[in-house]
Amino acid sequence: MPASAQRSVVHKPALAIFAGVGSAWVFVLVTLGAFTTSIGAGMAFPDWPLSNGSVNPTGWLQDISMFAEHSHRLTGAIMGFITIGLAVWLWRREERAWLRQLGYWALGIVILQGIIGGQRVTLDRIEVPGFHMTLGQMLRIPHGILAQVYVCVLIAIALALTRAWIERPAPLGRRVRRLGVICTALMVVQLVIAATMRHNGAGLAIPTFPHSTATGGWLPEHWTFPITIHFAHRVMALVLLVALGLFASAVRRDPAATLPLRAGASALITLLVLQILLGVMVILTRRGPEMTTAHVVVGALTLAVTFALTWAAHRDAIEGPAPLATRSRA
């Protein structure tokens, strides 16, 4: 972006707050979606977009499955309206073309997510030869993966609208940027593996921990698809333990790292440890819905923090080296 265009950018507090609210609300949606899947309530209502033909179906506040699924649908609708508002606001008031385009991407993703979620219901009875899941059930996997991409897009928008992003002059080092890209890519791979494992019912394919067999073996005694995808999830957890540790350390040691960035690095380590403990508890509780839901949500938060640190580290590559303007307007 040319320096003249950079100087025309101003901080918009109201828009920044609205984007921040959207970034927070998406985790309510992720939590309800994870809980719905954890208790097997995805088909609590056989119709879509209404639930039993109504926006207020009878008994949904008394039945846990109906409550989980309908709450997820209502939260998704609210998320859609938030994204529409964000995209329109960016289009009308934001000077940076790339940021306006990111708003359009967010809107496109949330629309696609709604369509996939609806088709998951309407196509639930269509069998796919050679697979144990129906076509509708298969759509749960891209629905879960795309949700994580959507989280990252919202965070990218929210961070780019903050005063700290606009004003911060000092770039982070090349090592931080390189490690951030690697760790974000590894997190995406792990979440794809996790979504595939989860929606193929492979969460307990290896029912022991930390060993893979009841006799203490580290490798499974035999290999099937559920066991392989589950084992891959455990291996990736070890890889991420090392990679995210190195990334967080690099951020904290970088001379240009601000206090919020250092705090984010510390939060990343906390989330990583918590995620591993929750993964163990998922096994020990035989996929208890509370532990499973928490594991999914903390995984999304870990990706969010990893991406946020990486995005912030690349701020100069995105905006250019010159500091942006510091004036404010609504």
pLDDT digits (tens, 9 = 90+) for 205-225: 999 999 999 999 999 999 999
Say yes or no: 149 and 254 in one domain.
no
Say yes or no: 112 and 174 in one domain.
no
Say yes or no: 308 and 266 in one domain.
yes
Percentage of the residues of the chain whose pLDDT score is greater than 90? 85
Say yes or no: 22 and 71 in one domain.
yes
Query: What is the tally of helices (H) and strands (E) in the chain?
Result: 12, 0
pLDDT at 329 over 60: no
Say yes or no: 11 and 153 in one domain.
yes
Say yes or no: 157 and 196 in one domain.
no
Question: Once rounded to an integer, what is the mean pLDDT over residues 155-179?
Answer: 90
Is the CA virtual torsion 255, 256, 257, 258 positive or negative?
positive
- Structural domains of the chain, count: 2
Show the CA angle centred on residue 131, arms to residues 127 and 135, nearest 5°. Answer: 40
Give the residue from 319, 323, 317 showing the smallest Cα distance to 97. 319
Say yes or no: 21 and 62 in one domain.
yes
Say yes or no: 10 and 146 in one domain.
yes
Residues spanned by the domain of 290: 170-330
Global pTM value = 0.92
Give the residue from 116, 61, 80, 30 showing the smallest Cα distance to 51. 61
Which of 116, 138, 161 is at the close of a domain? 161
Q: Would you state the structure tokens that stand for residue 330, as one six-digit string?
A: 């609504």
Which of 161, 185, 207 is at the close of a domain? 161
Give the CA radius of gyration of the chain.
21
What pLDDT score was predicted for residue 6? Answer: 45
Question: Once rounded to an integer, what is the mean pLDDT over residues 91-108?
Answer: 96
Identity of the residue numbered 105: W
Longest dimension (CA), the chain: 68
Question: Once rounded to an integer, what is the mean pLDDT over residues 121-135?
Answer: 90
Say yes or no: 1 and 138 in one domain.
yes
The answer to whether the CB of 165 falls within 8 A of the CB of 315 is yes
DSSP helix/strand/coil, 54: strand
Show the CA angle centred on residue 236, arms to residues 235 and 237, nearest 5°. Answer: 90
Which of 136, 161, 186 is at the close of a domain? 161
Q: Would you state the structure tokens that stand for residue 137, as one six-digit string?
A: 């059930």
DSSP helix/strand/coil, 273: helix
Say yes or no: 236 and 254 in one domain.
yes
Say yes or no: 289 and 157 in one domain.
no
Say yes or no: 181 and 301 in one domain.
yes
What pLDDT score was predicted for residue 171? Answer: 81
Question: Once rounded to an integer, what is the mean pLDDT over residues 167-185?
Answer: 90
